[in-house]
Chains A and B, each alone.
Chain A
């Protein structure tokens, strides 16, 4: 055994109650995998942290902070600019600083050189570390997640579909699968496509295909591929002969790498839906029609010095550059570059401003930042509305040709996986929109989900994490006949349950590992929409507005029966989720359906806003509907600004801006009006770039963005619902709108001698009192 292997196996590893704390060995195993894959010696901390987090479901909370810092004292690890980093009293580094400065680390140069020159030593070290520090049941996860190759395990691994012993994971072969059906020793069908779908979420060990780079080489990916609308504009901006630097940033999982791959294929003239023959290089140089184009796959993976060098090249050398980068390193590097170039200290605020702008797919004019010598375009995928793709992605998952292999399976008619898929296909007309609405709700009220998170949640909804083997076991264990043999299994993985994080009516804690599921659970989808309605749910009347796919009828009846029992609360929730996702509205039942759907989504405006977003305008509203909506908005603003209910005004066609104390410390029974604005001066418009409704005063002099929660608040308040307090974010937004209205009307403000007061009379009606103040004669006249 070489010295290096010995050194790695003898690192100091803490034990708690006799069990090794695995952080250090796991970090080394990941670094070994990187060596094996020929990657750079040093990598940003975020890469290590992400890797460890990806297997947290097996090991509990893992983060790379301590092993990353402490491995240096084992003599095997090196950290870039280590002496300049802040440390706490214990000498540990700070998470935020490692992230923010994109600090790189990795094996020392000597160890890295030995490992790369002797690939066997990597295998020996990895084997040794796995056996010494990692429990047997978790070893496969580590090997799979880290993409370690040619690892020999000495224990007999007999669970699941793997029955052989030896080189278990030959990842290199992933891209060359030419059959989607594999037949094992017992000649039972196992469809690899199911494994592929399960690899799209990280709930089970093999979440390897979650990353775009793996997808680029997968034979299943092309059929799932959805073209990003901004690719055309990107390609155009890189090839039009104007030298520019385009930087693309965003959340991990937003699709940065997918966009880069698409652009690369486009620039190289490769078909968009074919896998790449080889992985994308860190820097790709393409000779474009009007000059050279450079593509940097991930600037964040470079060291701080290299990033500066790349930026210098991008701005000083000829041609256009397309740079992908995580946001933190981008900000630090670009700000540092700007400072070196003497571009002023306020540049970071400008960069942040560009990063915050809604991504315009068709024109980058709003994203340009001047002053860098070349035109700099900053795009942030986080500011792109990815929900337009949801319906397509779900449809492509459900209708993928990979399912074809199941046709040869002897249990296909009762297979829960197939039954689940069939339900989705039968309800295809509605399920795509219903899923998108859920994401709209989560985006607006909770948190935006990345495309990777969405795909993971949809993939989990399709299989419930169940493998072919497990599906077969479910069928074979059933004592029922025919299609009913799959019912028990279907209950476990029905899309309407798993998608929301439930298993047969009960919460499924394991699914919380998926961000989308965790957020959905916070909202508690499926709660009662109303007392009257809830009592009807157990009867035919309650679900009479919807028709369910025939494949679900038996299940629906069973759940309805259980829901009627005293302890049937969980089944009522499950039934509502089923109705929401699969229920096709019967003709003539639109009102009841709307009541149910809006109640389920807990948003009275979501579906309407979605329709405008899809249409890109308010064209579906008639003039009178539009006016009614505008009046609703202004009536609520009147209430928020003055404190009086609009019903207290006899003529509510003006918005009064009064001198109302923000501290509400005393009751201001009489309020001084600073400005009175006619409702006629306001209009509603749809902003297609921001994808939201905007209340506009005098054609844009002052505007209020009506995001979904604010629109919901207005709708509820206008309908007379009490108890819906305005959240601070919207209170601040309305205060800002009020200030802008006062600002833009300052010049036309009524003369100082005109006094208007509002006061509620004993009957509650608000009276408007007008006076004229004659300052020369010192007389107050009734106005």
Chain B
């Protein structure tokens, strides 16, 4: 089905999906232009940590109809039916850990009673005096509270853990508090039907989508479109990667983070859960059906996978790896939004040395108002938002040659250019958070991420090669050659080009890299960038 010559290429991009479902689409698949373009779905209100948690949840959960296979795997296991995964609830652990800090008005009496009972149950299995038991419980609660991922003002069951271990990964569950109050629920068994395991308010499928991108990449043999980019000089560093090997290495890397790195924590989770098995939701296990992604995102996924492999194989602590993986998920969302938009937007020119055909021009966070670079990066953000805005209005995403309805466009914009802006601000790629003059910048933490993701652990490259690699992966223009391409793409006039060509000042990038310990000056004209996170190159 891929790239048959008689098909319109854009139609091909939009219609070729992974996994392929032969049953009917849900309405959003047909209406929401963002879903039509990017798959189901990128979701603005999902936090970065929830993107990562959901991604790892799918990865670590058994997949396939029988709930027996493909846990800790990037394979879907659709041989026996639909693409589904079987996430854990972890409701008992959340009750034990989060109820004391949950909003008072959302604590149902049944929950409070179950919580009290759970404390007694746990204490009964702890040795020592009653004081020691009491203290031990408090210690355990305090320990798990330290691993809260997202709390905000949510009730206990909707809060999530930092995905530091597979034993902390749990599906989204919501609690229908008004309904439970109305129905005068009085015991746990009755209450369980007011826990909803089918919502996607917090785990909005963004992590699922990222997982599907990788599953799509690893679902077949080497593809011609990948081979084509690997032939390009700027992607030479990826040319020795064998897809099967890449998959195995990522699976091993993620599994190590989630299981081996912090064994004692898993032991404690098992202890809590096994003592509170009466606080689970009764009934059979429930699977979650995955959405889909366009097959054409395989190239974005390949870059994503190579970066994930670098992070997983670093010799740094598992929590530090998770922090970088969270940043990677966000950056992949931003990159995918732009790359896929460019695949259907034919009004822009292509970019030399970057397969994504867009560019982000970043300025120093300290650049003063009115400086050329600051204006340029501001203009660059406007161009990117324009691209994302325009892409959703393509008649190809509407029906019968007309753009989508304004309501559908509004929904689409939420998960496209507004999503881009929100995530960009979350990670410090776009400043300021409020007010005018919004622009692309690179914070020290983003630079640290770029080094960890784009260089193999222990690898050394020249600074100019690093700039080229940053551009080849993310379209971020740092060096003057990349800036020249980016300015051309951003529509800078000849005179603009000359001015900015002159002032392509990368001193701030070099200083930031140096401050992080990533830049080593070898002579007055040559510096190298080093990924110091050990490991074999």
Contacts and interface: CB of A to CB of B under 8 A. Distances in A.
Interface string B422-439: 000000000000000000
B132 A90 contact: no
B268 A755 contact: yes
Given A90-B498, A92-B501, A352-B522, A732 B516 contact: yes
Contacts of A326: 523, 525
Nearest to B149: A665
A659 B537 contact: no
Interface stretch (B4-12, B30-38, B299-307, B528-536): B528-536
Interface residues of A, number: 74
Contact of B525 (A46, A86, A660, A775): A46
Contacts of B532: 732-733, 736
B112 interface: no
B265 interface: yes
Describe A's contact surface by its main secondary structure: mixed
Contact of B267 (A86, A739, A755): A755
B481 interface: yes
B185 to A, nearest CB: 29
B479 A96 contact: yes
B290 interface: no
B448 interface: yes
Given A345-B236, A778-B271, A94 B481 contact: yes
A162 interface: no
Given A661-B162, A727-B515, A735-B317, A757 B501 contact: no
Contacts of B523: 249-252, 326-328, 380, 382
A663 B323 contact: yes
B145 interface: yes
A753 interface: yes
A88 B127 contact: no
A773 B267 contact: yes
Interface string A760-783: 000000000101010100111110
Nearest to A769: B139
B462 A348 contact: yes
A676 B14 CA distance: 55
Contacts of A752: 263-264, 266-267
Interface string A348-360: 1100110110000
A95 interface: yes
B364 interface: no
Given A356-B528, A733-B517, A757 B126 contact: no
A272 interface: no
Given A92-B498, A739-B317, A659 B525 contact: no
B95 interface: no
Contacts of A667: 146
B226 interface: no
Nearest to B236: A345
A62 to B, nearest CB: 14
Interface string B120-159: 0000011110001001100100110111100000000000
Contacts of A663: 323
Contacts of B148: 666
A346 interface: yes
A359 to B, nearest CB: 12
A346 B462 contact: no
B243 interface: no
A364 to B, nearest CB: 18
A447 B494 CA distance: 38
A194 B143 CA distance: 72
Nearest to A778: B274
Contacts of A735: 316-317, 320
A671 B264 CA distance: 12
Interface stretch (B18-26, B191-199, B409-417, B484-492): B484-492
A342 interface: no
A670 interface: yes
B448 A771 contact: no
Contact of B264 (A327, A666, A672): A672
B92 interface: no
Contacts of B526: 100, 327-328, 331
B517 A729 contact: yes
A780 B136 contact: yes
B501 A89 contact: yes
B464 interface: yes
Contacts of B365: none
B319 interface: yes
B2 interface: no
A345 B488 CA distance: 31
B470 interface: no
Given A90-B494, A729-B516, A352 B525 contact: no
A298 interface: no
A753 B479 CA distance: 52
Interface in B303-347: 315-317, 319-320, 323
B521 interface: yes
B525 A327 contact: yes
Contact of B517 (A92, A353, A732, A771): A732
Contacts of A92: 498, 501-502
A56 interface: no
Contact of A736 (B315, B462, B496, B515): B315
B465 to A, nearest CB: 8
A729 B132 contact: no
Nearest to B146: A668
Contact of A352 (B136, B264, B461, B480): B461
B403 interface: no
A293 to B, nearest CB: 25
A79 to B, nearest CB: 17
Given A345-B236, A779-B127, A672 B143 contact: yes
A534 interface: no
Contact of A743 (B125, B128, B315, B496): B315
A587 interface: no
Contacts of A727: 515
Closest 5 CB pairs of A and B: A89-B497, A668-B146, A88-B501, A327-B523, A90-B498
Interface of A: 46, 86, 88-90, 92, 94-97, 99-100, 249-252, 326-328, 331, 345-346, 348-349, 352-353, 355-356, 380, 382, 447-448, 659-663, 666-672, 674, 727-730, 732-733, 735-736, 738-740, 742-743, 750, 752-755, 757, 759, 769, 771, 773, 775, 778-782
14 contacts: A90-B501, A92-B498, A97-B481, A252-B524, A327-B523, A356-B460, A448-B521, A659-B319, A670-B143, A672-B265, A733-B532, A736-B534, A757-B139, A782-B128
Interface of B: 125-128, 132, 135-136, 139, 142-143, 145-148, 162, 164, 236, 239-240, 262-268, 270-271, 274-275, 315-317, 319-320, 323, 444, 448, 459-462, 464-465, 479-481, 484, 487-488, 492-498, 501-502, 514-517, 520-526, 528, 530, 532-534, 537
Given A92-B498, A355-B528, A755-B267, 18 more contacts: A88-B498, A89-B493, A250-B523, A327-B523, A348-B462, A349-B461, A356-B528, A666-B146, A669-B142, A672-B262, A728-B448, A728-B517, A729-B515, A729-B516, A736-B533, A757-B139, A773-B267, A782-B126
